[in-house]
Structure 1
Amino acid sequence: MRLGARHVWLALATAPIIGLFALPILYLVTVSFKTRDDVLSGHFWPTVPILANWPGAFEAADIARFILNSVTVSVLAALLTIALALPSSYAVLRLKIGGKWLADVTLSSYMAPPIVALIPLFLLLKATGLLNTRAGLILVYGFANVPVAFWLLTPFLRRMPIEIEQAAAMDGAGPFRTLLQIVAPIIAPGIVATLLIVTVLSYNEFLFASAFTFSDATRTLPVGISLFQGDRLVNFGQMAAASLAGIAPVYLIALFLQRYLVSGLAHGGVK
């Protein structure tokens, strides 16, 4: 009975938290089945549900291409971020390269508002011919999220016993080989968790994508959804439908990889 009562109290305590996260998604679902007048009425549930917003959203804008662009850019940018952040964090933490100040500078660079870097990055991409290209966005996101990945990977490296690396060094393994063959497999849950987080950050980014892309061939989903807002009227129903279609890939990735995400963030690299 005590165990049953504990489960009841746990369910009652977590229900408001679950509702807090589920309510916006549920409201987005209801809006996708409302007419424009029904949305403006303020009712939570649609008075007369309609399906026209879903095909209308894909007819009004190339949502499928926007989703493909977002997935491609965010995944490749996340891989680039990990490729840069993993050896960097290992070099700073284990090899003591740069001292403590380098880690502080790396983290502090993420504190500046992104708008500060907008004009320099625009001119840099224009000069290199990468403006209005997915490759340009991949490079921008890949480098911009390095401080986040550095901050997330550092605790996993700290929890790893240094004796393992010392044993590898005694066997003749250099730092790079030790990182790839010894350290990376041990902290794999942390790497996967970091990869997922920076992927979501890139997938949801709007400022750089709106400034550096000008055509449907390169626009990402956040920019594509903003196209539903006209000068006078906003088609909320189609925007809600496009938003739900756009967040589906992120939810599916999180659903299938949640085990790695939870175990990585909760337990670190060493159990």
Structure 2
Amino acid sequence: MRANRLVLGVSAVLAVVPVLFLVSLSLRGVDDIQHGGWLPARVRWDNWPSAFDTVPLARMLTNSWLIALGATVLTALIATPTAYFTARAGRSGQRLYSVLLAAYCAPPVVAVLPLYFLLKSVGLTNSVVGLALVNGLANVPVAVWLLDGFVRRVPKDLEEAAWVDGATTTGAMVRIVLPLVVPGLVAASLVCFFLAYNEFLFAVSFSQSPASQALTVGLSLFQGDRTVQFGQQAAASLVAIVPVYVLAVAAQRLLIGGLSQGAVK
């Protein structure tokens, strides 16, 4: 018991210390930061309003949430029937499962140019909708990988009984399988939300307009040619991570419980 508490305590400290250090950086000037140390020699509150003046943080934060939410909904809509197919379709399902995981293992940079021209052809560059679409499709393999185990845990006898009663394959999936995999769907959706929220490569490649840029791009704008506004960047980073931290803490039981259920055979 004591060993478990010690491990949890160390883990908590390791998780909290970087955030506290960000708080310290957000209250320090550039010279103070470059001189090192953990605490500010003189507290500077002006980094916070200056961060909002340097880049449109509020707009970018809103964009990040809209992109992540839209991407998560799209991922869930595609991944749920796909995971059902990979779990129930025998060899065909296994082939699709392998193809999805293999595609996800490829470096995302190889898809930037093709995706850019595809989005440009339909007028979705510099668009929150375009970024949500790209992120939603990119996270489908992750969601399928997480949901496949949940679907396999649902007894086929339940579906067969529904078929005997006249239900179609789609009807059995929606009425029988889907309610039983809700914990896994919630956990997979949370994971995909965090992935879409933190994504940078697509965000910086497909959007050059501040009106549609994500907050991950905004954080990179504090780096100038000769100096980096570390204090402002730290303040902006806290603006970015605090809402997600709150969501993660509020949904931790759903996330951990869902992933744990999927891991049990």
**TM-score, normalisation: structure 1:** 0.93
| DSSP-derived class of the 2:90 partner | coil
Q: 1:169: how far off? A: 1.4
Shift of 1:100: 2.0
Could you tell me which of 163, 171, 193 is aligned with 1:199?
193
- Which residue number corresponds to residue 56 of structure 1? 50
Alpha-carbon deviation of 1:245?
A: 0.5
Letter of the 2:103 counterpart: S
- The yes-or-no answer on 1:129 pairing with 2:123 is yes
Alpha-carbon distance, 1:92 to partner: 2.2
**Gaps spanning 5+ residues in structure 2: where?**
none
Q: CA RMSD in A?
A: 1.6
Name 2:86's counterpart in structure 1: 92
How is 1:110-125 mapped onto 2 (pairs within 5 angstroms)? Answer: 110-125=104-119
Residue 16 of structure 1 and its aligned partner are, at CA, apart by 2.1
Distance 1:270 1:101, change over 3 A: closer
Separation (CA, whole Å) in 1 of partners of 2:240 and 2:186: 22
**8 Å contact 1:77–1:141 — kept in the other structure?**
yes
1:186–1:269 CA contact under 8 A, matched in 2: no
The equivalent of 1:224 in structure 2 is 218
Once the two structures are overlaid, the 10-residue window that deviates more, 63-72 or 242-251, is 242-251
Contact map agreement 2:26 2:235 (CA 8 A) in 1: yes
Q: What is the letter of the counterpart of residue 11 of structure 1?
A: R
Other-structure match for 2:21: 27
Gap regions ≥5 residues in structure 1: 1-5
Structure 2 CA distance, aligned partners of 1:218 and 1:50? Answer: 30
> How many residue pairs get matched?
265
- 1:145 pairs, out of 132, 139, 144, with 139
How far residue 181 of structure 1 moved from its aligned partner, in angstroms, is: 1.8
- 1:6-50 residue CA offsets vs partner (Å, 9 max, x unmatched): 3x3322232222222222111111101111111101101111222
State the Cα distance separating 1:166 from its structure 2 match: 1.5
Question: Is contact 1:33-1:49 (8 Å) kept?
Answer: yes
User: What secondary structure does 1:268 align onto?
Assistant: helix
Query: Does the 8 A contact of 1:53 with 1:237 survive in 2?
Result: yes
Measure the CA separation in 1 of the matches of 2:59 and 2:173: 38
8 Å CA contact retained: 2:51, 2:233 = yes
Corresponding residue for residue 263 of structure 1: 257
Q: Match for residue 3 of structure 1?
A: none
Q: Partner letter of residue 150 of structure 1?
A: V
User: Which residue identity is paired with 2:14?
Assistant: L
Q: Per-residue CA shift, 1:113-138, capped at 9, x if unaligned?
A: 01100111111111111111111111
Q: Distance in 2 between matches of 1:10 and 1:91?
A: 40
Whether the 8 Å contact between 1:187 and 1:270 is mirrored in structure 2 is no
Deviations 1:193-232 (A, max 9, x none): 0000001000000011001001111000000111111111
Question: 1:252 pairs with 236, 246, 251, which one?
Answer: 246
- One-letter amino acid matched to 1:245: V
Distance in 1 between residues matched to 2:209 and 2:93, nearest whole Å: 44
2:163 to 165, 169, 193: 169
Which digits, 9 at most, give the CA deviation of each residue in 1:127-185, with x for residues without a partner?
A: 11111111111111111111111101011111111111112112211121122222111
Contact 2:70–2:133 (CA under 8 A) maintained in structure 1: no
Q: Deviations over 1:49-81 (max 9, x none)?
A: 221111111111110100100000111111101
1:208 is aligned to: 202
Structure 1 segments, 4+ long, off by >4 Å, are none
Amino acid at match of 1:131: T
Question: In structure 2, how many angstroms separate the alpha carbons of the residues matched to 1:99 and 1:92?
Answer: 4
Percent identity over paired residues? 45
